[in-house]
Amino acid sequence: MSGPPEPVPSDRPRVWVNCAVSMDGRLAFAHGVRASLSGPEDLVRVHRLRAGSDAILVGVGTVVQDDPSLRLKPELLDELPKRPPRRVVVDASGRTPVSARILDSSAPTIVATTENNARTYPDHVHVLRAGRDQVDLRLLFRLLRDLGVAQLMVEGGSRILASVARERLFDRWTIYYAPVLVGGTTAPSMVRGPESIGPTDLVRLKLESVAPLGEGFLATLRP
Ligand SMILES: NC(=O)c1ccc[n+]([C@@H]2O[C@H](COP(=O)([O-])OP(=O)(O)OC[C@H]3O[C@@H](n4cnc5c(N)ncnc54)[C@H](OP(=O)(O)O)[C@@H]3O)[C@@H](O)[C@H]2O)c1
C-alpha cells in the first residue's frame, strides 16, 4: 500500500472506507451492540490510517450505539499529525446525543445534517447542510473537499457504508476479517441499505490484496 499518493478527485476527497467484520460479515452483535472485532495489530493500522486522514466520518447510528470519540490515541502512533483529523457525524435529523463524545471540544467536529434539521449545536461544532430528508453524501463530500479535506476515512456504520457503496463514493475499501462468527438475525451486516434485486444492483469490487493480520486477515478492495 505504498507508492505515490493517488490524485484527489476535483469534486470530493479521496475516500477510504475501513471496517472490521466477523467471518460472516457482521459489524456488531445482535441489535447493533458494539463488538470489538479488531485485534491489536488492526487497531494500530486503523490509527495510522486515521492519522493520515483529514477527516473521519461515521453515521449517527454509530454515534448513538457506540459513542466513539474518534480521537487519535498517541500510544498507538509513532507520532501525532500536526493537525488532528476532523470528526464528521452524518446526522440528518439531529439525533446525536447532547452528551456524545464526538460533540466534545477535544478535536474539530463537523455535524453533517439537512436543511430540515432545526437543532442547534455547541459553538465549536461546524454545521454543514446537504440535502433535505437524508444527508446527500455526494454534496457533503464536495463541501468537505471545499473545506480542504483531501483524504476522508469512512468508518461506518452499516447504513452509511451502504450509501457510500451504492453511490460509488469510495476509492479504497479495507476490511479486517476477525476469525469469529457472530450469526443471528439482527447483528448488522457490513452494508445494510436498499435491496439488491439483481446483477445490476451489485457493487462490483476489484480485489487488490489479501494479507494475514494478527489472528485475522485484511482485504483491500477498489471500486
Ligand atoms: N465493526 C466496525 O468496523 C464498525 C464501525 C462503525 C460502526 N459499526 C456498527 O455499525 C452499527 C451502526 O450502523 P447503523 O447502520 O445503525 O448506523 P450508521 O450507518 O452509523 O448511521 C446511519 C444513520 O445515518 C443517518 N443518515 C443520514 N443520511 C444518510 C445517508 N445518506 N445514508 C445513510 N445514512 C444516513 C440516518 O439516520 P438519520 O436519518 O436519523 O440521520 C441513518 O440511520 C453499530 O452496531 C456499530 O457498532 C461497526
Check if 46 has its Cβ closer than 6 Å to any atom of ligand 1: no
Check if 42 has its Cβ closer than 6 Å to any atom of ligand 1: no
Cα(7)–Cα(171) distance, integer angstroms = 11
Percent over 70 (pLDDT), the chain? 99
Measured in angstroms, how far is the CA atom of residue 2 from the centroid of ligand 1?
A: 30
Atom of ligand 1 nearest to the CA of 29: 45
**Which residues are CB-contacts of 129 (< 8 A; sequence separation ≥ 6)?**
113, 114, 115, 117
194 Cα to the center of ligand 1, angstroms: 14
Mean pLDDT of the residues in the chain = 96
C-alpha cell at 41: 495489530
- Measuring CA to CA, which residue among 28, 13, 77, 23 is closest to residue 50? 77
Residue 96's Cβ-count burial label (10 Å; 0-12, 13-18, 19+) is buried
Ligand 1 nearest atom to the CA of residue 21, by list position: 1
Cβ–ligand 1 distance for 18 under 6 Å, the answer no
- For residues 203 and 196, what is the distance between their CA atoms, to the nearest angstrom? 9
- pTM greater than 0.95: yes
- The CA distance from 194 to 72, in Å, is 33
- Report residue 3's pLDDT band, with 50, 70 and 90 as the boundaries: low
pLDDT on residue 6: 83
Cell numbers that stand for 146 in this block? 471545499
Distance CA 34, CA 69 (A): 14
- Ligand 1 lined by 93 (C-beta under 6 Å): yes
Owner of C-alpha cell 464536495? 142
Contact indicator for 28, 65 with CB cutoff of 8 Å: yes
pLDDT tens sequence across 76-93: 999 999 999 999 999 999
- Taking the domains of the chain in order of start, what are their residue ranges? 53-175
CB 164 near ligand 1, within 6 Å: no
95 lines ligand 1 (CB under 6 A): yes
Of 219, 163, 156, the closest CA to residue 17 belongs to: 156
Measured in Å, residue 61 CA sits from the centre of ligand 1 at: 4
CATH ID of 53-175, from 3.40.430.10, 1.10.3720.10, 3.20.20.100, 3.10.28.10: 3.40.430.10
**CB 34 less than 6 A from any atom of ligand 1:** yes
What pLDDT, on a 0 to 100 scale, did the predictor assign at position 4? 73
